[in-house]
A and B are shown apart, each in its own frame.
Chain A
């Protein structure tokens, strides 16, 4: 009956729904550093609910650890729900802005063509450089970055990964688990 955990280290995404209060980000992030796990990426943004933020945290670890982190997250007062997602259960996307050296016509054309293949856009241009915008999975973006390396990359900014579950179910379905950590919220 003992649950068999997947012991292979994989990329998991923890989606954490929180109240939009100061300090909540550091409280969540602290859990990871305390267990000695590096966060691959962390993104915070708004949701369809007012005063509610959503954190998407990418981490490479095994299933047991990730689930422990998720349960620890649920204990935090401002956390409303936590969902553990992996490669099969979610779609993940990120944006990269890549500033590339481009000092002549030929290079510029070549970069624009490459960007088109990856459905990227040129966001900025001047005599010495181009800035390419690309949206996609981490591996797709990495592929474009690799191609652009030939021209000389000046700077890269990425958003980190956001993720959402495939299918009908949502993070709000998880609030049942969180109910165990309700402390009589009716007072607020």
Chain B
């Protein structure tokens, strides 16, 4: 059947069961938006305030659902505005298909108005880029793009259409093929319980070697990494950890992969890792990292990391093996498949002695009484009041560390945070994506004053679509994490980190038509959050905190993992 090329693009989205796209129109992508107008009852478009917000929203949509997110932008500045969002998705392995249009074939390469080589720019921050110059290639490229984004280790893909391809007169041969039939494996669908990636198949031999290593270990220690979340392997991981009866550290990206309130959890590991996690890492004799790439924030000093241990890495991407930390054994495969194979033969162990050494080191964070509002009080209020299945999106910095240390996540996709790329301004976009995907859930956006300023214009999107997102701003009037380093390492020379300037976040919220609250005490915070949650409306809560609040504990970059620069505990 012959149909318009742009209609084929829409049909290809429908093939993949895409019902929501995020984006921002412009000159070169006009034809696609014109087609979208005809498809508006089948595909919902969320117009953001800025392309970066659209990119983060598509990313947040993907992270919270396990589906592929889709984002549109025009050529030139529209495309380059996506790049921070693309890189954020790439570093955290989030499946997003970015669709841009470029100038006409006749002007390509001639520095035409709003022309940029976006496929070239995006090459290092995507799994693949496609430049489409032949309309007949549309179905094949679209199908492949979704397959690449969703399968194996997920990640972003960029398709750039030359404007000629989308001209109204262009027709191509097209037949609707549901994605299940054009791809041999389930990647696009929500990652439900029977979801299994097709490849790679874990080797039984490798699994047996690990089982032997486990049998010989006295002090095993497990890291729950982002791979557990992305592969939705939470159930398998829990069974594995409980059978192994070993302490479990949860990496930043692993939040939600293992219940934060589980008796075996030791919390985060690494730079802001708990004493329990970091000590366990130093003293264990077998370290099993599941879907974790030992980033420099976890393995602060790769040479001495887990020095007494045999290190085993379970990862879907062979390129992660021996990249940051040299390992003794590895298993290639999705966390789900590998853990299921391990669980099949794993007997119930008892490591009480080892647990008795590590688990008591956990120090519960306490929100002490104070005249002035403290981060602990804010988070305690959130923990008490938030619905247990509420989705939390964070930005980057102190508030991110506090939130992840303090709140306990229960399921994959509940925590949306930019771990790898550390993108300030990620949170509000991600919250928009998550709230769009889950209209029935509450979405909390935890942010700092520095981060919130970066993309607060997305409040316009929040207000327009009536998304009941509550933004909680940890306002300490500074770039807190940078100030913390300046305080501890740079002789208290606070170079350009003090944010003693506008805007007034309450007034700003009101200007966008969003409810604004200010909290200076714990009581005000409790009241504000209760009201914001009860009203089911978008709101911003400006939490006024002291400028010198610090994230505890802390180990300096490159140091020994137990060499704490700041100790745990709230007696600050």
Interface residues of A (CB under 8 A from B): 1-3, 22-23, 26-27, 30, 34, 64, 67-68, 71-72, 74-75, 77, 177, 179-188
Shortest distance between the CB of A72 and any CB in chain B (Å):
5
- The residue from A34, A67, A180 contacting B199, defined by CB atoms under 8 A apart: A180
CB-CB under 8 A from A184, the residues of chain B are: 144, 147, 151, 182-185, 187, 198
- Does B144 lie within 8 Å of A75, measured CB to CB? no
- How many of chain B's residues have a CB under 8 angstroms from any CB in A? 35
Using A30-B123, A75-B317 as known contacts, say yes or no to A2 and B327 having CB atoms under 8 A apart: yes
Which B residues touch A3, using CB under 8 A? Answer: 322, 326
Instruction: Give A2's nearest chain B residue, CB to CB.
Output: B328
- B387 touches A (CB below 8 Å): no
B534 on the interface (CB 8 Å rule)?
no
Known: A68-B323, A71-B318, A177-B318. A187 touches B140 (CB 8 A): yes
Least Cβ distance of B306 to chain A in Å? 12
- 15 pairs, CB–CB < 8 Å, chain A vs chain B: A2-B326, A2-B327, A3-B322, A26-B120, A30-B123, A34-B124, A64-B322, A68-B319, A68-B323, A74-B319, A75-B127, A181-B152, A184-B184, A186-B183, A186-B184
- B200 on the interface (CB 8 Å rule)? yes
Which residues of chain B from 308 to 348 have a CB within 8 Å of any chain A CB?
310, 317-319, 321-323, 326-329, 332
CA distance A181 to B247 in the complex (A): 33
Determine whether the beta carbon of B319 is less than 8 Å from that of A72: yes
Q: Separation in Å of the A51 CB from the closest CB of chain B?
A: 15
Find the A residue at minimum CB distance from B137: A188
B323 touches A23 (CB 8 A): no
A19 to B548, CA, bound (A): 56
Measured in the bound complex, the distance between the Cα atoms of B152 and A185 in whole Å is 13
B407 neighbours in A (Cβ, 8 Å):
none
Are the C-beta atoms of A75 and B148 separated by less than 8 Å?
A: no
Knowing A1-B328, A187-B140, A188-B140 are in contact, say whether A179-B199 is a contact too (CB < 8 A).
yes
Nearest CB on A from B539, distance (A): 42
Taking a contact as CB atoms under 8 Å apart, the answer to whether B148 and A71 are in contact is no
Known: A2-B328, A30-B124, A68-B323. A183 touches B152 (CB 8 A): yes
CB proximity of B324 to chain A, nearest CB, Å: 10
Q: State A1–B185 Cα separation when bound (angstroms).
A: 34
Across the interface, name the chain B residue whose C-beta is closest to A188: B140
Cα A71 to Cα B152 with chains together (Å): 15
- Within 8 Å CB of A179, what residues of B? 199-200
What residues of chain B lie closer than 8 Å to A30, measured between beta carbons?
123-124
Expressed in whole angstroms, the minimum distance between the Cβ of B122 and any Cβ of chain A is 11
1/0 contact string of B250-290 vs chain A (CB within 8 Å): 00000000000000000000000000000000000000000
- Say yes or no: A180 contacts B328, CB within 8 Å: no
The answer to whether B144 touches A187, judged by C-beta atoms less than 8 angstroms apart, is yes
CB distance from A91 to the nearest CB of B (A): 28
B-side residues, CB < 8 A to A, are 119-120, 123-124, 127-129, 131, 140, 143-144, 147-148, 151-152, 182-185, 187, 198-200, 310, 317-319, 321-323, 326-329, 332
* CB <8 Å contact, A187 and B123: no
Q: Which residue of A lies closest to B129 (CB)?
A: A23
* Beta-carbon contact of A183 and B319 below 8 Å: no
Chain B residues contacting A186 (CB-CB under 8 Å) are 182-184
Chain B residues in 8 Å Cβ range of A77: 127-128, 148
The answer to whether A23 and B322 touch (CB under 8 A), given A180-B199, A187-B140, is no
Q: What 13 new A-B contacts, CB under 8 Å, besides A22-B131, A64-B322, A183-B148?
A: A2-B326, A23-B119, A23-B120, A23-B129, A27-B123, A68-B323, A75-B319, A77-B128, A177-B318, A179-B200, A180-B199, A180-B200, A180-B332
Write the chain B residue with the least CB distance to A182. B199
Question: A183 and B317: CB pair below 8 A?
Answer: no
* A177 to B128 Cα, complex, angstroms: 19
Q: How many angstroms from the CA of A27 to the CA of B131 in the assembled complex? A: 14
Closest to B209 in A: A1
Given A179-B199, A180-B318, A181-B152, does the pair A187, B182 have CB atoms closer than 8 Å? yes
The winner among B148, B319, B332 for most chain A CB atoms within 10 A is B319
Cβ contacts under 8 Å, B144 to chain A = 183-185, 187-188
Distance in angstroms between the alpha carbons of A64 and B324 in the assembled complex: 11
What distance in Å separates the Cβ of B293 from its nearest Cβ neighbour in chain A?
13
Q: When A1-B310, A75-B317, A188-B140 are in contact, do A180 and B152 touch as well, CB less than 8 Å? A: yes
Residue of B nearest to A78 (CB): B128
Given A74-B319, A77-B128, A180-B152: A187 in contact with B199 (beta carbons within 8 A): no
What is the chain B residue whose CB lies nearest that of A27? B123
B364 → chain A, closest Cβ, in Å? 37
- Determine the residue in chain A with the shortest Cβ distance to B185: A184
| Nearest Cβ on chain A to B157's Cβ, whole angstroms | 9
List the A side residues contacting B322 at CB < 8 Å.
Answer: 3, 64, 67-68
Report the separation of the CA atoms of residues A26 and B329 in the bound assembly, to the nearest whole angstrom: 33
Please tell me if the beta carbons of B147 and A183 are within 8 angstroms of each other in the complex. Answer: yes
Q: Which residues of A contact B119 (CB under 8 A)?
A: 23
Kindly state the separation between the CA atoms of A22 and B321 in the bound complex, as whole angstroms.
Answer: 30
Task: Give Cα A1–Cα B326 distance, bound, in whole angstroms.
Answer: 11
Tell me, in angstroms, the Cα distance from A185 to B321 when the chains sit together: 25
How far in angstroms is the closest Cβ of chain B from A176?
10
Contacts of B187 in A (CB 8 A): 184
CA distance A26 to B119 in the complex (A): 12
Minimum Cβ distance to chain A for residue B152 (Å): 6
- Give chain A nearest CB distance to B399 CB in angstroms: 32
User: Measured between alpha carbons, how far is A68 from B322 in the docked complex, in Å?
Assistant: 8
When distances are taken between beta carbons in the complex, the residues of chain A under 8 Å from B120 are 23, 26
CA distance A3 to B200 in the complex (A): 22
Which residues of the other chain, A, contact B328 by a CB distance below 8 angstroms? Answer: 1-2
Q: Within the assembled complex, what's the spacing in Å between the Cα atoms of A184 and B323?
A: 26
A22 CA to B117 CA in the complex, in Å?
A: 14
